[in-house]
Amino acid sequence: MPSFDLQDAGVRELNAYLHSDGSADQAVTVEHPGGKHNVAAGAMHDTRVDIHGHVGYYCAGMNDRALVTVHGNAGPGLAENMMGGEVRVRGNASQYCGATAHGGLLVVEGDAAARCGISMKGVNIVVGGSIGHMSAFMAQSGILVVCGDAGDSLGDSIYEARIYVRGRVSGLGADCIEKELGEGHAAELGALLERAGMDPDPSGFRRYGSARQLYNFRIDNVSAY
């Protein structure tokens, strides 16, 4: 089982390994990440990566296929622009986690800070705790599930992404409204919670999405621009 101790090895060595064909179907452990940035950035094979400790910025950035677990907290931009695979943080994640991510599953077992899922483009994000303000800003597609509370301006200028929140929402952003949570939605939500390893009971959640009023410029909406 390949192992990288980031006290000795560089992040570059780890990432180069994760980009090599040799990393396919391997289980890799990373010790002493020490808050370093760009740990496991751009992993592209079916690799299991277990990081024991805290990471800095952009951990698992652009992840494609790999299963990355941070046994600690993550700095800003966790799994930004991720394409597929799964990224999980046992602790909390700083701002912009899952930004612009296109696919895969991102699980934050603790809380996520501001701008969680900003501009998300197809990823599914499940947060066990609460999220900060301006989350899902301009979120295009994918699903954001929040088991705790959501901060101000949730889903501002949202497009087609779907948001489920169990706790309190401090405020909704422009063009984001509460929507009916139908059976199909409950099934989708339950399945996602289960995949994320959370309590799969969808009851108590509310759904939010786009009112689609700002999709084409209209001068009558000028106060919203």
- Interacting residue ranges for other proteins, rule: CB under 8 A: 11-12, 15-16, 19, 37-38, 41-42, 44, 56-58, 61-62, 64, 76-77, 80-81, 83, 96, 99-100, 102, 115, 118-119, 121-122, 137-138, 140-141, 157, 159-160, 215-217, 219, 222
121, 136 Cβ separation under 8 angstroms: no
Helix (H, G, I), strand (E, B) or coil at 123: strand
Give residue 183's identity as a one-letter amino acid code.
Answer: E
CB of 28 to other proteins, least distance (A): 16
Smaller CB separation from other proteins, 76 or 151: 76
Q: How far is the CB of 62 from other proteins (least distance, A)?
A: 4
CB nearer to other proteins: give 78 or 147.
78
Between the CA of residue 48 and those of 2, 44, 79, 87, 210, what are the distances in Å?
11, 11, 15, 10, 36
Q: Least distance to other proteins from the beta carbon of 41, Å?
A: 4
d(C-alpha 196, C-alpha 4), whole Å:
27
- Closer CB to other proteins, residue 69 or residue 157? 157
Residue 163 · residue 136 · CB < 8 Å: yes
